[in-house]
A and B are shown apart, each in its own frame.
Chain A
Amino acid sequence: ELKVEQNPLFLSMQEGKNYTIYCNYSTTSDRLYWYRQDPGKSLESLFVLLSNGAVKQEGRLMASLDTKARLSTLHITAAVHDLSATYFCAVELDNYGQNFVFGPGTRLSVLP
């Protein structure tokens, strides 16, 4: 059974600081996804990582995937308040777009 863990589960950080959220998983997979969820809203796709060593960047967020270590990171650079949200990673069990397992989420609060 695939297990997906994230840490930290809660993160409070000051504006302007850098931090990294970690997502690790228990079974071989080379497809990993990051989503953002604002309170009371649905999930928004942030990054799709499809191979070992994949790195994607959008604004102040950068995601990477190490399939050998079964680890993905979401790095936040110079955080701003607008980044406050819950971030989920999700791992795909197969390559047919059918089976995703979500991590528990990291609730991020960026304080002024």
Chain B
Amino acid sequence: DAMVIQNPRYQVTQFGKPVTLSCSQTLNHNVMYWYQQKSSQAPKLLFHYYDKDFNNEADTPDNFQSRRPNTSFCFLDIRSPGLGDAAMYLCATSGTEGLQTQYFGPGTRLLVL
């Protein structure tokens, strides 16, 4: 039973061509996160939503935007992808009561040509 779903699993885009990655969850968690992970590095938090409250990390480039239209869905928009944006993008969710570990989706691997 998939709990955090990401689509697509692989995305190829051209330099400068906007791309949208999607994440959905069946856990009804308040908090949703987007991470960028480059090869052999730790996940880097881009932003997170607490319900509809958007929290941007200070060093997240303006090129990255996010939308959360409802509890279940969250989108990552990359307005003008550069070669340096090629990475794995991980969506995660967590609740705010009890165990608060993050549940990660399978990730979307983005390739920029």
Contacts and interface: CB of A to CB of B under 8 A. Distances in A.
B110 interface: no
B104 A33 contact: no
B90 A92 contact: no
Contacts of B48: 98-99
Interface residues of A, number: 25
Of the listed residues A33, A42, A43, A88, the one surrounded by the most CB atoms of chain B closer than 10 A to its CB is A42
Main secondary structure of the interface of B (DSSP, over half): loop
Contacts of A100: 33, 45, 102
Interface stretch (B14-22, B62-70, B76-84, B92-100): B92-100
Interface residues of B, number: 25
Interface in B17-35: 30-31, 33
Given A88-B42, A98-B31, A45 B96 contact: no
22 contacts: A31-B100, A41-B107, A42-B104, A42-B106, A44-B104, A45-B103, A50-B99, A95-B100, A96-B50, A97-B30, A97-B31, A97-B95, A98-B31, A98-B50, A98-B96, A99-B48, A100-B33, A100-B45, A102-B42, A103-B42, A104-B41, A105-B41
